[in-house]
């Protein structure tokens, strides 16, 4: 009987250890800092290395779906739809994330990123160097 209980305990621990991240597969509406209006819908995907990325699924602001003119590399002059704006975000415990990067398509710059999942909100902090030198954004879970 003890062996069965021990085996079940180890099995349940293994299942929880390999459970998908709570952000994996979720979609979020980004909100414009200035206008406070929805800008785009992004979807998070867990990568093979366990980090998360987020890709723009649709643009909600008319006239803003045009090319990423200030982006470097593969996204230069491409439509914003399909651009991966979050890379390498890692769960660092509970609902806290760190060690990621986020692309601002408006200026083509990439910033360090940390985030916190708070119910139907994803609170992001993009920064250069140290977290104190950055700005906050809140994304809302898309229906």
Domain regions of the chain by residue span: 21-141
Quick: pLDDT tens for 12-55: 444 444 457 999 999 999 998 888 999 999 999 999 999 999 99
pLDDT tens by residue, 48-82 = 999 999 999 999 988 777 778 888 888 888 888 99
One CATH from 3.40.50.1820, 3.30.565.10, 1.10.287.1260, 2.40.128.520 for 21-141? 2.40.128.520
Positive/negative CA dihedral, 12, 13, 14, 20: positive
Let me know the angle formed at the C-alpha of 93 by 90 and 96, rounded to the nearest 5 degrees. Answer: 65
H helices of 2-71, in order, are 2-17
Sign of CA dihedral 14, 15, 16, 22: positive
Rounded to 5 degrees, what are φ and ψ at 46? -80, 130
pTM here is 0.82
């Amino acid at each position: 009987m003890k062996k069965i209980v021990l085996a079940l305990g180890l099995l349940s621990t293994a299942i929880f250890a390999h459970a998908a991240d709570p952000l994996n597969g979720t979609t979020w509406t980004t909100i414009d800092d200035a206008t406070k209006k929805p800008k785009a819908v992004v979807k998070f995907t867990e990568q093979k290395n366990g980090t998360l990325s987020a890709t723009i699924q649709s643009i909600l602001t008319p006239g803003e779906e045009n090319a990423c003119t200030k982006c470097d590399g593969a996204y230069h002059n491409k439509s914003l739809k399909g651009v991966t704006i979050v890379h390498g975000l890692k769960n660092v415990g509970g609902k806290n994330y760190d060690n990621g990067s986020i692309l601002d398509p408006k200026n083509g710059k990439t910033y360090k990123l940390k985030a916190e999942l708070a119910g139907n909100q994803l609170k992001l902090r993009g920064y250069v160097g140290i977290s104190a030198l950055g700005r906050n954004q809140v994304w809302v879970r898309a229906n």
